[in-house]
Amino acid sequence: MRPVLERLLTEINRSFDFHKSQLEEERVGRIFISGGGARLKGLKEYLADQLGTQVELSRPFEDMDSGLVVATGLALGKAKEVNLLPEKLRLIPRVLAQRYYPVALACLAAFILFGMWLKMNLTSTGYEKELISKKVELAGLQSANKRLVQLEETRKRLDQEKAILPKAALEQPPLGEILKEISRIVPVGTTLTGLSLRTKGTAKELRLKGVAFGEDAETLGIIVEIMEGLEKSPFFKDVRLSSSKENKEYSEQGGSFELRCEIVSFQFSLFNVIGSHD
C-alpha cells in the first residue's frame, strides 16, 4: 500500500509544481479529494501530513456521497460554467480579480499616461514645425522690410535730386548762345585754338585761346577788340588777358593770346538778352 501512496504523492507534487509555475503562487491552500478511494481510512490525514496543506472530501451537492463526484463529472460531459467546488469557494475568481486589481489599475494608468504623453509629443512637434515656419516667414518679412526701407531712402534721395534738378538746370550756361556770341565777337583774321569751361565754386570761368595775325600794333588792337566785345556781352564779365606772346607756329606774323572771363548766370544773361532784343 505504501508504494501506491508514494506514487500518488509524487503525482500530486508534480501538479503543485505546475500550478506554482503557472500562477506564481507560493503554496496550495486546500485540496479536495473525491471518488471511492477518497474514503480510504486515514488517506485524508496522510495526505494532509505529507503535503502540509488542508485536505477535504469533495461534496459538490449537499448530502451527496463523495464517491459519486467522479460519476457526476463524467455525466456532465462538455457542459460549461459548471463548478463543483463548495459554494463558499466559488468566489475565487473574484478574489483573484481583487488581488490583481491594483496591478491592472496601474497598467491602465500607465497606458493613459503614455497616450497623453504621445498626444502632447505630437502636438509639441506640430507646434515646433509651425514655429519654424513662422520664423522663416518672419525672416522673409524682415528682408522685405529692409528692402522697403532701402527703396524708401532711394525714393527720398531721388525726390531731393528731382527738386534740385530744375535749379541746377537753370544754372547751366547756355553753351549754344555762348558759342554764337564768341563767334560774333572774334573778328575775321583771328584763329581760335582753344576753348575751355571750368567751374570754381559757384562761378564758371571761360578760357579762350587764339592767334591774331598782323603787326604787333595790329595784333594788340585785335586782342583789345575781343576783350571789349566780351565785356559788352551779357554773357561774360570780369574779362582779363592771361597771356600774350609772339606766335612762331604760323608762317604769317601774329601773336598768340589767352583770355579769361567769368560767365554770367543763365537767368541774368537770359534776362539781359531778352531786354537787349526788346
| pLDDT value of residue 209 | 92
Q: Which is more confidently placed, 37 or 83?
A: 37
Residue 1 CB: number of other CB atoms within 10 A? 6
Asked if residue 36 has pLDDT above 90, the reply is no
What's the pLDDT tens digit per position in 40-54?
788 888 888 888 888
Identify the band that residue 16 occupies on the pLDDT scale cut at 50, 70 and 90: confident
CATH architecture, domain defined by 175-277: 2-Layer Sandwich (3.30)
| pLDDT value of residue 226 | 92
Q: Which is more confidently placed, 230 or 20?
A: 230
**Phi first, then psi: what are they for 144, rounded to 5°?**
-65, -40
Cα dist from 222 to 3, 184, 228, whole Å: 166, 14, 10
Q: Which helix (H) or strand (E) holds 64?
A: none
Supply the mean pLDDT for the chain: 79
> Residue ranges of the domains in the chain?
2-90, 93-171, 175-277
| pLDDT value of residue 273 | 41
Asked if residue 228 has pLDDT above 90, the reply is yes
Q: Which is more confidently placed, 56 or 122?
A: 122
| pLDDT value of residue 77 | 64
Asked if residue 258 has pLDDT above 90, the reply is yes
Q: Which is more confidently placed, 185 or 81?
A: 185
DSSP state, residue 248 = -
| pLDDT value of residue 278 | 42
Q: pTM for the full model? A: 0.37
- For residue 105, what is its C-alpha cell? 489599475
| pLDDT value of residue 168 | 47
Asked if residue 62 has pLDDT above 80, the reply is no
Identify the band that residue 67 occupies on the pLDDT scale cut at 50, 70 and 90: low
- Would you say 56 and 30 are in contact if contact means Cβ atoms under 8 Å apart? yes
Strand 254-263 to strand 203-213: parallel, antiparallel, or no bridges (unpaired)? antiparallel
- Would you say 71 and 36 are in contact if contact means Cβ atoms under 8 Å apart? no
CA atoms within 13 A on the CB side of 135: 6
Asked if residue 243 has pLDDT above 80, the reply is yes
